[in-house]
Structure 1
Amino acid sequence: MQNRALHKHQGTMKKIFFVLLITVVLPHLNVAAREKISVVPKPNFVIMGQGNFSLSRSTGVSYTRHLGKLGKYLIEQLEFFTHLELRHEIVDRKKNVILLKLDPNFNEANEEAYSLDVSQSKIVLKARTDVGLFRGIQTLFQLIPIPNSAGQDTFIVPCCKIVDYPRFGWRGLNLDCVRHFMSVDFVKRYIDLLAYYKFNVFHWHLTDDQGWRIQIKKYPRLTEVGAWRKEADGKIYGGYYTEEEIREVVAFAKSRFVTVVPEIEMPGHCQASLASYPENACVPGPFEVGTQWGVYKDIYNPGNESTFAFLENILTEVMSLFPSRYIHIGGDEVPKIEWKQNAKCQQLMKEKGLRNEEQLQSYFIRRIQRFVESKGRQIIGWDEILEGDGPDSGGVVESWRGTDGAMQAAKSGHYTILAPGEYTYLSQDADGLSLDTVYSFDPMPHGLTPDQQKFVLGTEASMWTEHAPQETIDSKMFPRLLAVAEDAWTNPSQKDYTDFHKRLDAQYDRLTYLGVDYGLERKAISYITIFNKEKKEFTVSLFPTQVGITLRYTTGDTPTMEDSQFYEKPVEISGTTTFIAQAEMRGRLVGNPVKLSFMIDKALGANVSVQQHYAPQYAANGVGSLVDGIRGTTNFRDGLWLGYQGTDIDATVDMREEKSISEIGAGFYQSIGSYIFMPTSVEFYASRDGIHFDNVGVVRNDVPEKDPDTIIKDFKLAFKSKEIRYIRMIAKGIGVCPPWHIGAGDKAWLFIDEIFAN
């Protein structure tokens, strides 16, 4: 880390001078003028001046020989942002110059601190360290306007004085390159983007159940076997990074003052490793590289001494490639059922006096920790490493299940990183994690004493890629990553969402210039559907949720957005059809489309009762959703599905009057990675009086239980027309996940969206 000085005692006169500068001089700033700059993350102290500096081809760039790499970087990037070819000036020019200066007396409190002084005659960047200058250079880039024409030869930079430094020394992004593989060029591009917004840690998730992405020469099968998985269509998917490619990435990151922290998962999330070397498992192989998302029960066997030799050899090679102070060892989501059943694990527990499997996990983590520390490094683990006896004192805890893990760690004297999923998991769509929610996050947990707060290193965002191939990452990450940047850098007293949003509006053109295919700030469209019983038609009203987007829609049996039109007024739906709406921003479609499949059938709007209770998190609009005429989508969280866990579904529909019916049915959902299965069978009964029911028939499931795809299926029966008022449907669930499933023995889900009659 470049920011270890954050945790030192700074009781020097130089610090006192710096504090006086920022507390006495800088508060007298011109607030109205300050709005002229749109820097993200927001600098902590700004004074706007009068006038501007004119950057042109005649502007020089002055720096000493020691700053040669930084100076060259500045000149190259200025050419990228302005198309101006500036020159290095050896002489100390007084005017029309950008001056880089190292000052050994500048702010000993924080090595990333810098000052930026833009006057009408020159721009002076000053810091105590190279990294401080680099951070200031990023601010300068954002002060320079994006070119408005190809031949623009002058760029106006507003006069201002900025003194700035980060709140936290750990400002990171965790990128999962396992579930979907990312190219080396893509990884380097993201490191560049991180640096631009003053992040300083790239957490590289390299191993998991679904793949092994790092070459280990001592164990070639890790990449020969573990790097590849068979997809549902039979195709082989995967990839890995060679040692040379890793060194290339690490060197590039170093040039951008970003530390690369590798993550090698253990003792769980290791299915790809066990597929390569099954002798390290608790049960006999063979194993396959994971093809499903979720948690696998097969984990490393600490009862075999050879398992530790295997992992230590891997970590030795990893540490030879990554010079970072920290090595992330995972430690999360470890099912311990195999440890309970393995004789060697139980014997080890007896020998070591370990009372339970949680303590066995602590033994595992501590042993790996001591090995890593013997090489002069430190471990990071997800907050599960606190379970049992926890890690030794040098272990760093990354808290992802809320902030409780961070609180416990800091109170126990462990350094901690805040990465709670509800605020920082950008793999969630903006529908579920909005920009303002991300911005509202304070990485400093409330309730810590000043001494305990010293153990909070900072925060990082996570991009898990189960549902995010490389080409989708930009739209998921941006603009929300900018909110994370400000959470990590800017003091809370300077944060304001309205102000941030104004600055963000200016950033969008900059992101476009950087080639970032950014996405949405929040769910793009809200809608209301109203059913008119007399006309037997639906009315759909759409509402954009943010400025700058327009709405398009289309209808039909198999509609596509290529045939869409602009939404201007509520749309009337008078028959069974599919309605699709999507937001358009800056000439391109963005965000998830709203897809509503309408069914005008004879059970629409009927009374319905269900004997079982649905889960509150999958409540749709109550049991009335089963006869609302709107079908569920492939997203089981869309608010159109009712979810029942570990039970059957027994529902009765009262159509209020007898009707001629020749078909009845119900729609169900399967996504085995989410523990949702089709019913084994669906029974249908019919009645005229609600007391005596005739058995209409049973539909048995023909969807393969192991099919990994998301599947929606109507279970329906056709018969000779008869007069019916009441319909009873009994869907038989499987109860618990089958033995082959990663959640074997856990309660399985049944999801239903509609009961219909025609």
Structure 2
Amino acid sequence: MYLAKHFLLSFLFALFSLDFTVAQQQPEIIPIPTTYLLNQGEFQWDNKVGLVLENFPNQGNYLQQEALRLLNLPLQEIESVSKTILIRKVNDLKEGYTLDIQQNSVTIEAADETGAFYGVISLLQLAHASKEKNGKIILPNWKIQDSPKYEWRGIMLDESRYFFGMEKVKQLLDHMAYYKLNTFHWHLTDAPGWRIEIKNFPKLTTVGGIGNQSEPNAPAAYYTQEEIKEIVRYARERMIRVIPEIDMPGHATAANRAYPEHSGGGSEKYPDFTFHPAKETTYAYLSQILHEVDALFPSNMMHLGGDEVSFGNQMWPKDPDVLRLMENERLTDMKDVEDYFFERMADTLFRFSNKVLAWDEMASANLPKDKTIIFWWRHDKKEQLSLSLKNGYPTVVCPRIPFYFDFLQQEDHKYGRKWAGAYAPLEAVYNFDMDAFGIKKEDENLILGIQANLWTETVPNEDRFDFLMYPRIAALAEVVWSQNENQSYPQFMERLEVHLDKYKAEKLYYYNPFDPDHHPEPVYEP
């Protein structure tokens, strides 16, 4: 009798000790909101529901467009109806939004346009996942309060190696918005091709735009300045900032094909890989380029690369101009020359009121802390993350494992990358934990957020793009937005299923973690 009673008490204690936040029913939203409560009742959404906008007309217009596109539901601005969707401004919310669904009303409240937009996104996701009854979308009466964990929630796309074009980029921006990601880092220049029109130097695209990773003579492919402006506008509508990357002083082969007088040479494997670090004409040339690029992007941020320069700086130690520069500036080695170059080009951006962004090789450079952001990418060099934080740089975390989306998703895949046998499955993306890096309490505010990077050496077509991006983009979203205590991989997988239906409807060639053979891994043939 005693043992039975003891067992019962132990069972009840264990039951009531469960984390209620995780154990309770979750709203069908990715990323999972901060707090949520399911009340009794439901809201029935049909074409008789009216939209009431006290504020935020742009977000109301977006809701109308997406309700028609995703749900086939027209939504008109009509106040004199019995059921309404209301979007309004409240000043007591610092960030984020509240979403309150009741029997006859849906209310989205936010202090600013960004919060209102994310409230709209959550409503659309709930509607997309809901059941239909008599031609009406049935929304459970959720009460949600939500705000992001990290300010920087990013995706980087490399279009130098393979060019995808405006419609594919817009499709990616649509999905970034759907997952509340807010930063599109656009890698537009590298060794294989230069992809952004510069009017002062037209050969950058007409010559430097020729070729890609596998076909050096492929026709020139690039974005005109008008196309750039359209993509920036489209992203802004979705609360996404666009940050261009103009890589230097390495990864410059495409630019040097167009204007070889600015080449600093390269190596046998990486010819004409660098810009010349000791010619004043090179600095003037690059400054003009950056001036044009700055005019196209209102983010006031530009990424200048700064990575892997040693792959192709073998001519520098033999160049009389470089040796003279080292003597005059008291530089001791090639890393000093590299940093000198980067600091000068950063000064150009500062004159345009831009922040300079750089890969973690620049964590040791002498750059102003309030105008610089470092991207830690070398997962095998944790000391670079520590150095960036020690030197006071705001830092974006994007380690190869698990945030390089060109890495394999499962062990038997053949055509992506691995690092010492490691790859980047969906679960590894989802379970990434910043706490594992032992960041000091006083340095935590320097971590701006997390970004995933899609390098495209092995991504020659849209099928492979889709296969590598979806659904890992959804796992990334929950890592960067949701609080740790709300995260649960099994429950994420339950919520993910309806998103795969959305990918299918949009004809994406996505990876299906529930049925890995649903879409076989696309072959990459260089």
- Asked if 1:179 is matched to 2:155, the reply is no
Give the Cα separation in 1 of the matches to 2:212 and 2:115.
Answer: 47
Match of 1:97 among 71, 79, 84: 84
Match of 1:59 among 49, 53, 57: 49
Match of 2:238 among 256, 274, 296: 256
- Asked if 1:195 is matched to 2:195, the reply is no
TM-score, normalization by structure 2: 0.88
Give the Cα separation in 1 of the matches to 2:39 and 2:509.
Answer: 34
User: How far 1:116 moved relative to its partner?
Assistant: 0.5
Give the Cα separation in 2 of the matches to 1:430 and 1:42.
Answer: 23
- Asked if 1:307 is matched to 2:289, the reply is no
Where does residue 142 of structure 2 map in the other structure?
160
User: How far 1:33 moved relative to its partner?
Assistant: 5.4
Q: For residues 32 and 447 of structure 1, do their structure 2 counterparts lie closer, same or farther at Cα, with a shift above 3 Å needed?
A: closer
Residues 82 and 147 of structure 1 are in contact (CA less than 8 Å); yes or no, is this contact kept in structure 2? no
Q: Which residue identity lines up with residue 53 of structure 1 in the other structure?
A: F
Deviations 1:726-755 (A, max 9, x none): xxxxxxxxxxxxxxxxxxxxxxxxxxxxxx
Where does residue 483 of structure 2 map in the other structure?
491
Give the Cα separation in 1 of the matches to 2:166 and 2:378.
Answer: 30
Where does residue 390 of structure 2 map in the other structure?
411
User: How far 1:356 moved relative to its partner?
Assistant: 1.2
Q: Which residue identity lines up with residue 474 of structure 1 in the other structure?
A: D
User: How far 1:67 moved relative to its partner?
Assistant: 2.1
Give the Cα separation in 2 of the matches to 1:485 and 1:354.
Answer: 43
Give the Cα separation in 2 of the matches to 1:200 and 1:233.
Answer: 33
Where does residue 436 of structure 1 map in the other structure?
427
Give the Cα separation in 1 of the matches to 2:213 and 2:442.
Answer: 50
User: How far 1:592 moved relative to its partner?
Assistant: 6.0
Where does residue 401 of structure 1 map in the other structure?
378
- Asked if 1:69 is matched to 2:58, the reply is yes
Give the Cα separation in 1 of the matches to 2:209 and 2:434.
Answer: 35
- Asked if 1:427 is matched to 2:416, the reply is no
Q: For residues 249 and 167 of structure 1, do their structure 2 counterparts lie closer, same or farther at Cα, with a shift above 3 Å needed?
A: same
Residues 29 and 48 of structure 1 are in contact (CA less than 8 Å); yes or no, is this contact kept in structure 2? no
User: How far 1:517 moved relative to its partner?
Assistant: 2.4
User: How far 1:497 moved relative to its partner?
Assistant: 1.2
Q: Secondary structure at the match of 1:591?
A: coil
Higher relative contact order (CA 8 A, sep 6+): 2
Give the Cα separation in 2 of the matches to 1:233 and 1:349.
Answer: 38
Q: Which residue identity lines up with residue 102 of structure 2 in the other structure?
A: S
Where does residue 350 of structure 1 map in the other structure?
327
Residues 262 and 322 of structure 1 are in contact (CA less than 8 Å); yes or no, is this contact kept in structure 2? yes
Deviations 1:328-348 (A, max 9, x none): 001111023222121111110
Q: Which residue identity lines up with residue 498 of structure 2 in the other structure?
A: A
User: How far 1:234 moved relative to its partner?
Assistant: 7.7
Residues 204 and 261 of structure 1 are in contact (CA less than 8 Å); yes or no, is this contact kept in structure 2? yes
Deviations 1:516-565 (A, max 9, x none): 321144xxxxxxxxxxxxxxxxxxxxxxxxx445xxxxxxxxxxxxxxxx
Deviations 1:632-689 (A, max 9, x none): xxx9xxxxxxxxxxxxxxxxxxxxxxxxxxxxxxxxxxxxxxxxxxxxxxxxxxxxxx
Residues 264 and 274 of structure 2 are in contact (CA less than 8 Å); yes or no, is this contact kept in structure 1? yes
Q: Secondary structure at the match of 1:88?
A: coil
User: How far 1:264 moved relative to its partner?
Assistant: 0.2
Residues 418 and 460 of structure 1 are in contact (CA less than 8 Å); yes or no, is this contact kept in structure 2? yes
**By percentage of residues, which structure has more helix?**
2
User: How far 1:148 moved relative to its partner?
Assistant: 7.8
Give the Cα separation in 1 of the matches to 2:212 and 2:505.
Answer: 38
Give the Cα separation in 2 of the matches to 1:51 and 1:233.
Answer: 59
Give the unaligned 5+ runs of structure 2: 1-17, 411-422
Give the unaligned 5+ runs of structure 1: 1-26, 522-546, 550-582, 594-634, 636-708, 711-758
Q: Which residue identity lines up with residue 413 of structure 1 in the other structure?
A: G
Give the Cα separation in 1 of the matches to 2:234 and 2:477.
Answer: 21
Q: Which residue identity lines up with residue 276 of structure 1 in the other structure?
A: A
Alignment of 1:324-403 (within 5 A): 324-335=299-310, 336-387=313-364, 389-393=365-369, 394-402=371-379, 403=382
Give the Cα separation in 1 of the matches to 2:468 and 2:215.
Answer: 26
Residues 246 and 321 of structure 1 are in contact (CA less than 8 Å); yes or no, is this contact kept in structure 2? yes
- Asked if 1:461 is matched to 2:490, the reply is no
- Asked if 1:475 is matched to 2:405, the reply is no
Q: For residues 548 and 148 of structure 1, do their structure 2 counterparts lie closer, same or farther at Cα, with a shift above 3 Å needed?
A: farther
Give the Cα separation in 2 of the matches to 1:295 and 1:436.
Answer: 36
Give the Cα separation in 2 of the matches to 1:518 and 1:257.
Answer: 25
Where does residue 573 of structure 1 map in the other structure?
none
Residues 62 and 89 of structure 1 are in contact (CA less than 8 Å); yes or no, is this contact kept in structure 2? yes
Deviations 1:269-291 (A, max 9, x none): 0000001111111249xx9xxxx
RMSD: 2.5
Give the Cα separation in 1 of the matches to 2:393 and 2:512.
Answer: 37
- Asked if 1:134 is matched to 2:125, the reply is no
- Asked if 1:81 is matched to 2:58, the reply is no
Where does residue 502 of structure 1 map in the other structure?
494
Identical columns (%) = 31
Q: Which residue identity lines up with residue 225 of structure 2 in the other structure?
A: E
User: How far 1:230 moved relative to its partner?
Assistant: 7.7
Residues 146 and 509 of structure 1 are in contact (CA less than 8 Å); yes or no, is this contact kept in structure 2? no
Give the Cα separation in 2 of the matches to 1:230 and 1:44.
Answer: 43
Where does residue 442 of structure 2 map in the other structure?
451
Q: How many aligned residue pairs are there?
A: 491
Give the Cα separation in 2 of the matches to 1:409 and 1:114.
Answer: 33
If you compute each CA radius of gyration, which structure gives the higher value, 1 or 2?
1
Q: Secondary structure at the match of 2:511?
A: coil
Where does residue 605 of structure 1 map in the other structure?
none
Where does residue 36 of structure 2 map in the other structure?
46
Where does residue 241 of structure 1 map in the other structure?
223
Deviations 1:158-180 (A, max 9, x none): 11111111110100100011111
Give the Cα separation in 2 of the matches to 1:232 and 1:436.
Answer: 31
Give the Cα separation in 1 of the matches to 2:212 and 2:113.
Answer: 47
Q: Which residue identity lines up with residue 468 of structure 1 in the other structure?
A: V
Q: For residues 158 and 514 of structure 1, do their structure 2 counterparts lie closer, same or farther at Cα, with a shift above 3 Å needed?
A: farther
Where does residue 733 of structure 1 map in the other structure?
none
Give the Cα separation in 1 of the matches to 2:212 and 2:374.
Answer: 34
User: How far 1:203 moved relative to its partner?
Assistant: 0.5
Where does residue 25 of structure 2 map in the other structure?
34
Give the Cα separation in 1 of the matches to 2:334 and 2:445.
Answer: 32
Where does residue 270 of structure 1 map in the other structure?
252
Give the Cα separation in 2 of the matches to 1:239 and 1:316.
Answer: 22
Where does residue 199 of structure 2 map in the other structure?
217
Residues 443 and 458 of structure 1 are in contact (CA less than 8 Å); yes or no, is this contact kept in structure 2? no
Q: Which residue identity lines up with residue 38 of structure 2 in the other structure?
A: M
